[in-house]
Structure 1
Amino acid sequence: MEHGCGIDELHRYLSAQNRRPIHLIPMPFPERHLFGLWLKLDDFDIIAYEKAASASHKEHIIAHELSHIAFAHRGSVEFDHTDTSQLFTNAEPAAVRSMLMRSRYSDDEEQEAETMASLILARATKRWLEPAWGVPEEAAEIVARIENGVGHPDPS
């Protein structure tokens, strides 16, 4: 990858490198400490990020989650079915466990992703522009489940 790329280039590069699309989905997060998450599904990845964040914060959230993908982080907490059943009642338990494992990274993984996100943005030659788009058909069902699980879907 070229020196000084931006978020869009990194997004395309990781999608091509891993041979799986990465969908960027804006949504409201009611938890004050949660701004983004990465969900690895069988055929594609979803990065959900806080819809109400400033443009620069959205860019950092996405760079952070892309860094987790680039480093192939796996998380550090194991959950069983009983731990996850009440959190996302409309989502498949296996998908919830997968997401939660990645939401509880070790301190080293978090620091690595945060450092990489900062380096990516410091070297970015152009700023990321949030695309105006709908949810891809292949991700529609899981996005609806995530929205129902993390907060109220946005009516717009």
Structure 2
Amino acid sequence: MVALPLPPGSPDGLLYSADDRDFIVIEQRLAPIHQRQVALHEIGHFICDHEAAPVMTPEASRLLLPGLDPTLVHRVLGRDHSQSAAEREAEYIGSIIGQCISAWAEPRTWPVPQEAQELVARLTALEHPHTKGPR
């Protein structure tokens, strides 16, 4: 994983798959929590083995970028950055991984007035069925 200043208009992160290893490049000027989500999103693309959409033909790639392998250009630049199913899936997978490996922020608690404690306990049980009572 590498944090670099990416050009204006480029995605906040990208997954680059070489023959023998994979790289995730993240915009270094993002807030740390945003960098984490971008990294997890790119890991989601990796896990789901999403294919990049064609950006240009291999011939055009060789002509315009002669020093780069056309397959590399396709993998790095070709993914659809819209709200496609693959993008939604990568975001979902990244969010699930993030929830499993750590909390996004310090847990916060608020005092619950005595008259609201029963309601809070019931609502908390709906949100976290494995937890009993207010947190």
Which category describes the TM-score, using the shorter chain as reference length?
Answer: 0.5 to 0.7
Please say if 1:62 is aligned against 2:44.
Answer: no
Q: Matches of 1:27 and 1:90 in 2, distance apart? A: 21
The TM-score normalised by the length of structure 2 is 0.63
The TM-score normalised by the length of structure 1 is 0.56
| 1:49–1:67 CA distance, 2 compared to 1 (3 A) | same
Q: Secondary structure at the match of 2:33?
A: helix
- Output the amino acid matched with 2:80: R
| 1:59–1:29 CA distance, 2 compared to 1 (3 A) | same
Shift of 1:33: 4.9
Q: 1:97 aligns with which of 38, 63, 74?
A: 74
Q: Matches of 1:123 and 1:64 in 2, distance apart? A: 14
Q: Matches of 1:109 and 1:38 in 2, distance apart? A: 14
- Output the amino acid matched with 1:66: I
Structure 2 match to 1:109 = 86
Q: Secondary structure at the match of 1:75?
A: coil
Q: Is this contact kept in 2: 1:67–1:113, CA < 8 A?
A: yes
Moved over 4 A (4+): none
Shift of 1:51: 0.9
Identify unmatched segments of 5+ residues in structure 2.
Answer: 105-135
Identity between Structure 1 and Structure 2 (%):
24
Q: Matches of 1:92 and 1:26 in 2, distance apart? A: 23
For residues 58-113 of structure 1, the C-alpha deviation after alignment (integer angstroms, 9 at most, x for no partner) is 10010000011111111233531354354x56533331122223x22670100000
Q: Is this contact kept in 2: 1:64–1:113, CA < 8 A?
A: yes
Q: Matches of 1:48 and 1:35 in 2, distance apart? A: 8
- Output the amino acid matched with 1:28: P
Structure 1 match to 2:13 = 36
Q: 2:57 aligns with which of 69, 77, 80?
A: 80
| 1:91–1:77 CA distance, 2 compared to 1 (3 A) | closer
Q: Secondary structure at the match of 2:11?
A: coil
Structure 2 match to 1:15 = none
Q: Secondary structure at the match of 2:43?
A: helix
Shift of 1:122: 2.7
